[in-house]
Structure 1
Amino acid sequence: MSLTYVCSPLSAPTRAGILANAAKAVTYMTYAEKEFGDRAVAPHAYLPYLLDDEVPEERALALDFGQKLLAMCSRLVVYGSRISSGMRGEITAAERLGIPIYYRNGAGRLEDAM
């Protein structure tokens, strides 16, 4: 089974905002699974419950985990209209690995495709 990597913003000014964005990632996983018919992964949907993005070592660990997971995926789908620094790193990695990238807005509709 192939994997779809979900890329969406996590950062926010408050912990509550971060957790709200993590919850949105779960919704985006559902959209991606319906659209592409395979398993969708979004490490930022659960890592905020395990690691603190404000602690540099923990943020680095989370980003490294995401990059390794992305390398196992057959596509990357970007949700939302804001590209965070973490998302920019994931998009750049996908480009470097030759992984197709799809852009969707928050409702899961096509905005653009690469």
Structure 2
Amino acid sequence: QEKIHESVWFDPPPAVIDRLLEIYQGSSSFAEANQYGRTLRLKFKDAQPTYKQADNLIRIAVANSQVGNSSELPHILRQLSSLDWGKGSLDALIKKHSLKVKF
């Protein structure tokens, strides 16, 4: 986990984002959720996360209250909403999964 956290990627491959999402899913405290969320957000700056990855992120946030209530989640969602596939799609995913979050 730490190796991925510390790795430097200028264009992280989708498998790296998927692995970070798996790690994020396993967060057992707000501190972990914020740490992994921050790492994920930084990697998202250099990548183009897919709609499927955004869907997975929202599922994780609904299933894990540490992630869903972390202070990093709104920042991650704001970043995702600025992508080409954009805000409307993200809003639809949030509604579909009944995620309660403001960003």
After TM superposition, the score normalised by the length of structure 2 is 0.41
Q: Name the structure with the higher strand share.
A: 1
After TM superposition, the score normalised by the length of structure 1 is 0.38
CA radius of gyration, larger in: 1
